[in-house]
Amino acid sequence: MDAGEPIEEMNRKLKTSFDVLLPDIEPSKIIIVLNKIDRLENIHGIDPEGIKDQVTFDYEVKDLILISAFNNEDKDRIIQRIQEIFEYPNNIIVELPNIPKTQSFISWIYGHCDIESISYRNGIRIDLRYKTKDHGYITRMIDTLNGKILEINHRT
């Protein structure tokens, strides 16, 4: 997306893009990239982070990346994110009890998965991406630990 365009135009183009991609593509695999953020302050008079609140969409997209195509580090960030999503194509959000057995499972997760987020309120809530070969092991462990799957996007 060209972040230099009027906000309404950006939102209109986002909606058109979703209409094309969905339902065949999982929202968790969609990366929204807003380009030209180096020009944002001049054009919209808002700071780069502020644009995130103005861009609207009705789907559970996790990745909203702000970049400037003139900045090589920004381009590397997108490439890295695409690699992560391809390497770990499945996504699960799960709640686990905070017990020692869970801790050793989490150590395993750190070594084999891509953790999107982890929080320790009311037990442990993890949002992770994983390889397809690990699907059986992960779902068995969640079952053994009496965990609760909140959301799963698994490649069939």
Ligand X SMILES: Nc1nc2c(ncn2[C@@H]2O[C@H](COP(=O)(O)OP(=O)(O)O)[C@@H](O)[C@H]2O)c(=O)[nH]1
Q: Which residues ranging from 55 to 84 are in contact with ligand X (CB under 6 A)?
A: 68-70
Closer CB to ligand X, 66 or 128, in the complex = 66
Q: Does 2 bind Mg ion (CB under 5 A)?
A: yes
Which of ligand X, Mg ion, none has residue 112 at its interface (CB below 5 to 8 Å by kind)?
A: none
Q: Does 36 bind ligand X (CB under 6 A)?
A: yes
In one-letter notation, the amino acid at residue 36 is: K
> For the CA atoms of 68, 71, 75, 81, what is the dihedral angle to 10 degrees?
-80
Residue 19 structure tokens: 């209409």
Closer CB to Mg ion, 1 or 30, in the complex = 1
Min dist CB 37 to ligand X, Å, is: 7
Instruction: Give the whole-angstrom CA distance, residue 104 versus residue 14.
Output: 41
Which of Mg ion, ligand X, none has residue 44 at its interface (CB below 5 to 8 Å by kind)?
A: none
Residue of 61, 53, 77, 68 lying closest to 28 (CA atoms): 61
State which residue has the least CB distance to ligand X: 69
Residue 136 structure tokens: 């059986």
